Amino acid sequence: MKARTNMSDLVIAGRTFRSRLIVGTGKYPSHAIMKAAHEESGADMVTVAVRRVDISRKTESLLDYIDTSKIFLLPNTAACYTADDAIRTARLGREAGMSNWVKLEVIGDEQTLFPDNEGLLEATRVLVKEGFIVLPYTNDDPVMCRKLAEAGAAAVMPLGAPIGSGLGIQNPNNIRIIREQAKVPVIVDAGVGTASDAAVAMELGADGVLMNTAIAGATDPVMMARAMRLAVEAGRLAYLSGRIPRKSYATASSPLRGVVGS
């Protein structure tokens, strides 16, 4: 029997993505390595940051290394600490990228980079009203995710662990509850360290995983990108195929009858 690879595409706000892995563009050893890692990851959506142009110094453009005919750009509002700054950055990102999608970050604490719930909700409401497709980076809190979806977020992106920490999914039960309750796609964003973390997120039912440092910071980012692609696919298939229940005691896999000498 051929495996039924029911890997249906990821759909957010009516837009279809072939890959459930979304990757970042920051912190790679070089733009060339980033480009190779993107190809190996299979991702068709990447995040980018919005920053001041360096007037005094000509730098290579990131966009020379992203094939935007194949890869969708998702501008973020990283390093914004107020709703107003995030809204301002989102508007600039829309003009720079000519799309109305935004990965919305409103950060509440420098050390943990945990989101500021109040600011995030406020900015989501304003940007949704302005016609943005808002994907908020949020705490792994089912109630907050529900409020964001009610405010019009096109997806919710709960963290697995602090950004760049590589700690893996710290609160799997919350991710599972968020998936069960949410009426919008759930993308686990941040905290992945290695492939098994991405697989865990997908096995919990996440619709996708977003990561940057886990790939960019690996000793071999291109190989890790491939590992992540496989992990996301494996986790998705495992989720869809319905895992066996957990039991405390053994159940034999081989027949108990016909044992030699019995």
Partner 1 sequence: MTIKLNGDSHDIPQPLSVSALLAALEIDPRRVAVEHNLTVVKKTAYDSAIVGDGDEVEIVNFVGGG
**Catalytic residue annotation:** 103
> Which one of 61-69, 123-131, 197-205, 233-241 is the stretch in contact with partner 1 (CB under 8 A)?
61-69
Interface residue with partner 1 among 96, 129, 180, 220 (CB under 8 A) is 96
- Closer residue to partner 1 (CB): 94 or 147: 94
Give yes or no for residue 110 binding partner 1 (CB under 8 A): no
- Residue 33 near residue 222 (C-beta atoms within 8 A): yes
Give yes or no for residue 32 binding partner 1 (CB under 8 A): no
**What is the DSSP pairing of strand 157-158 with strand 133-138?**
parallel
Enumerate residues 6+ apart whose C-beta is below 8 A from 141. 117, 158, 174, 178
How far apart, in whole angstroms, are the C-alpha atoms of residue 29 and residue 220? 10
Give yes or no for residue 212 binding partner 1 (CB under 8 A): yes
- Residue 108 near residue 80 (C-beta atoms within 8 A): no
How far apart, in whole angstroms, are the C-alpha atoms of residue 187 and residue 149? 13
Name beta bridge partners: 10: 17
Give yes or no for residue 57 binding partner 1 (CB under 8 A): no
How far apart, in whole angstroms, are the C-alpha atoms of residue 177 and residue 143? 10
- Closer residue to partner 1 (CB): 47 or 174: 47
Give yes or no for residue 95 binding partner 1 (CB under 8 A): yes
Residues that bind partner 1 (CB under 8 A): 24-28, 34, 47-53, 55, 58, 61-63, 73, 75-76, 78, 88, 91-97, 163-164, 190, 210-213
